[in-house]
Amino acid sequence: CMWVQQLVQLMGCMWVYTNVTEVMTCRLLGLPDLDQNNSYVRKTLLDWAVWYQKTYDFDGYRVDTVKHIDHDFWQDLRKVTPWYNVAEIFDGSYDFIQTFANQKELYAAFNYPLFFNLRGCLGNGESMYKISSQFFEAQKKFGEGVRDMGVFLENHDNARFLTEHKGDKKRFENAFSMVHTWIGIPFLYYGSEQDMTGGADPDNRHALWELGYDTSKNHYPFIQKLNKLRMKFDMDALDQRELYVTDNFYSYARGSKFMVALTNVGQNGQTIDIKVPNTPFEPNTQVCNIFWENDCLNTNNDGSLDVTLYQGESKVYIRSKDKFD
């Protein structure tokens, strides 16, 4: 076809995502492409990266489209910017992500495999055992490096959560609860707090001022409570431990400070009643849900907790003595 010939001429070559060499060497959707193998271009880019950090005192960089650039360039970047660079590697394989995010190249990566399962399990109701498997695989592959991975539920390359999952606010809240409490560094895409909708790029990039900046409605207060939780505890020092999993329920603890209860049944789903064993709390201790201050109960004599989730809600429990405003 004529349009295919024109596309090949524009891009220099045709590529598919399954061909790693073509993904790395061909243009990305016909966009202009800098030649990092050109010594002048390479030096200019590396100098620019160092200058920006020194000038503006950035903590690190978000590095886009990593898999479309040669490994040796990322190795040179690591040498001159040995700080936190988090890589966007749009792929569901930890093995593939590790080819770029390692001790010689990018410092860390966005947890795309977890993103795909978060959308599938919490958004579509797939078995929560998938999240469980993802947790243990990441621990095995990255070890302590999971603490540096970027955890997210939305970004500029994927349809908005509410659009993709039929506007289900409880599924949305479960995703927020997971992202903000999961081991790693949470990344919140602008507009999520205002329940922004939108399909595939560019429909997922609407102007925030179209919705306004109300801090009292949508999911701004919900996220605010999760942020206060993170401020309350030293999150980076807290290990993550799986507590209980079924097809429609998942629970985990962060250190000895709090536990999270998630479900994938959605806002019209059945009530979930689970006795969660081995909680991080002492026996006969009062704990409270951070989203509803009067939602408190005591752990059992063996330290387990009888968790009830209504209409697809998520809960995060802390000791009542640790409650915050």
HEC profile for the chain?
A: CHHHHHHHHHHCCCCCCCCHHHHHHCCCCCCCCCCCCCHHHHHHHHHHHHHHHHHHCCCEEEECCHHHCCHHHHHHHHHHCCCEEEECCCCCCHHHHHCCECCCCECEEECHHHHHHHHHHHHHCCCCHHHHHHHHHHHHHHHHHHHHCEECCCCCCCCCHHHHCCCCHHHHHHHHHHHHHCCCEECCCCCHHHCCCCCCCCCCCCCHHHCCCCCCCCCHHHHHHHHHHHHHCCHHHCCEEEEEEECCEEEEEECCCEEEEEECCCCCCCCEEEEECCCCCCCCCEEEECCEEEEEEECCCCCCEEEEECCCCCEEEEEHHHCCC
pLDDT at 4: 42
User: CA-CA-CA-CA torsion for 246, 247, 249, 250, nearest 10 degrees?
Assistant: 70
- Identify the CA nearest to 96 among candidates 133, 141, 149: 141
pLDDT tops 50 at residue 195: yes
Task: Render pLDDT for 143-189 as a digit per residue (tens, 0 to 9).
Answer: 999 999 999 999 999 999 999 999 999 999 999 999 999 999 999 99
Domains (range + CATH), the chain: 1-27 (no CATH), 28-237 (3.20.20.80), 240-322 (2.60.40.1180)
Residue found by looking up tokens 């005192």 in the block: 57
**Side chain identity at 220, as an amino acid letter?**
Y
Q: Is residue 319 packed enough to be buried (19+ CB in 10 Å), middle (13-18) or exposed (0-12)? A: middle
**pLDDT band with cut points at 50, 70 and 90 for residue 16:** low
pLDDT at 10: 46
Task: Render pLDDT for 239-269 as a digit per residue (tens, 0 to 9).
Answer: 999 999 999 999 999 999 999 999 999 999 9
Q: Do the beta carbons of residue 110 and residue 100 sit within 8 Å?
A: no
Number of residues assigned to the chain: 325
pLDDT tops 60 at residue 7: no
Long-range contacts of 296-300 (CB under 8 A, 24+ apart): 296/320, 300/275
Quick count: other Cβ atoms within 10 Å of Cβ 105? 22
**Mean pLDDT of the 279-290 span:** 98
What span, in angstroms and rounded, lies between the C-alpha atoms of 288 and 294? Answer: 7
Q: Who has greater pLDDT, 24 or 122?
A: 122
pLDDT tops 70 at residue 13: no
What span, in angstroms and rounded, lies between the C-alpha atoms of 118 and 92? Answer: 12
- Identify the CA nearest to 97 among candidates 116, 110, 82, 81: 110
What span, in angstroms and rounded, lies between the C-alpha atoms of 146 and 193? Answer: 25
**Mean pLDDT of the 220-241 span:** 97
The neighbouring-strand residues paired with 245 are 250
pLDDT tops 80 at residue 2: no
Q: Do the beta carbons of residue 317 and residue 274 sit within 8 Å?
A: no
pLDDT tops 60 at residue 8: no
**Mean pLDDT of the 258-284 span:** 98
Task: Render pLDDT for 81-138 as a digit per residue (tens, 0 to 9).
Answer: 999 999 999 999 999 999 999 999 999 999 999 999 999 999 999 999 999 999 999 9
